[in-house]
Amino acid sequence: MPELPEVETVVRALRPLLTGRSVNAVRVLNASTVAGSLVPLARLAGLSIQAVERQGKYIWIHGSGARSLVVHLRMTGWLGVLSRAEFDRRADPYVRLTLELDAKPGAEPDLLVFRDIRKFGRVWGGPTQALAALKALAKLGPDPLVIESAAFLARLRARRGRLKTLLLDQTFLAGVGNIYADEALFRAGIHPLAEAARLSAPRAERLRMAIGEILNRSIEAGGSTISDYYHPDGQPGWFERELRVYGRGGEACLECGAKIKRIVLGQRSTCFCPKCQRK
């Protein structure tokens, strides 16, 4: 499931493939993939792609004329660039949207393909300003790779509730999901049910560092391929072999041998070591 490292990997792979290309046509194969109206999305035809960026787990494809495309992969979304011939050869039933790009000299047109088995993914198209003002995007918190100690501590102190729940809140930090929240808490030695606002300053700093380290290391490994995540070129990520608690409920802790506990928090499973992680 794509979280910040997986989305960052996708953005880095797509950037050189898309920047400078023009969009000739937009084809929607599954209407529910498009958030809101289809009209502004259709109007993306003709724009020239200027930049590909990440905001939290959202992918921004910035175009000319102050128009953009925003993509959220959610659980099973995949983005890639395929030649028309390769696209036809695959006859993939899970393709939900394509953007036809201008042909490179002497070659057939390429397609930016959005495939998504479970249809949880969403795309938004339209004026860049209007997209940035969308509630989900406007309320996104700071990037965990960029936030500094004082700001992180202040944000923690301003919130109530359990630490794990807070880490999953995209308005607190943008980009951390279930996998890296569990892993960062383990590496920081902090219990997922710890009260966020009561965390001491040193422990808060340890957590911030753990989040940054785990995310950066995963980016270097190309993210984690747990079930459906693959790079735009079809390669898997390699970070899942580094995971120490996620998905390991009932197994032995790799540090101390204690049995990893699995609890459910807001419909999401949480795994932690009851001995290594303290409230």
Site residues, DNA (CB under 7 A): 1, 3, 32, 56-57, 72, 74-76, 117-120, 135-136, 160-162, 165, 168, 170, 177-179, 247, 266-269
Question: Smallest gap, in angstroms, from Cβ of residue 63 to DNA?
Answer: 22
Of 153 and 163, nearer to DNA (C-beta) is 163
Question: Catalytic annotation on 142?
Answer: no
Which of 15, 203, 262, 268 is flagged as catalytic?
A: 268
Question: Catalytic annotation on 162?
Answer: no
d(CA 103, CA 75): 31
Question: Smallest gap, in angstroms, from Cβ of residue 41 to DNA?
Answer: 17
Three-state helix/strand/coil letters over the chain:
CCCHHHHHHHHHHHHHHHCCCEEEEEEECCHHHECCCCHHHHCCCCCEEEEEEEECCEEEEEEHHHEEEEEECCCCEEEEEEEHHHHHHHCCCCEEEEEEECCCCCCCCEEEEEEECCCCCEEEEEEHHHHHCCHHHHCCCCCCCCCCHHHHHHHHHCCCCEHHHHHHCCCCCCCCCHHHHHHHHHHHCECCCCEHHHCCHHHHHHHHHHHHHHHHHHHHCCCCCCCCCCCCCCCCCCHHHHCCCCCCCCCECCCCCCECEEEEECCEEEEECCCCCEC
Of 81 and 243, nearer to DNA (C-beta) is 243
Question: Smallest gap, in angstroms, from Cβ of residue 132 to DNA?
Answer: 13
Question: Catalytic annotation on 2?
Answer: yes
Of 28 and 75, nearer to DNA (C-beta) is 75
Question: Smallest gap, in angstroms, from Cβ of residue 270 to DNA?
Answer: 9
Of 87 and 124, nearer to DNA (C-beta) is 124
Of 117 and 209, nearer to DNA (C-beta) is 117
CB-neighbour burial class of residue 35 (10 A; exposed 0-12, middle 13-18, buried 19+): middle
Question: Catalytic annotation on 105?
Answer: no
Which of 21, 54, 57, 96 is flagged as catalytic?
A: 57
Question: Smallest gap, in angstroms, from Cβ of residue 74 to DNA?
Answer: 5
Residues with catalytic function: 2-3, 57, 268
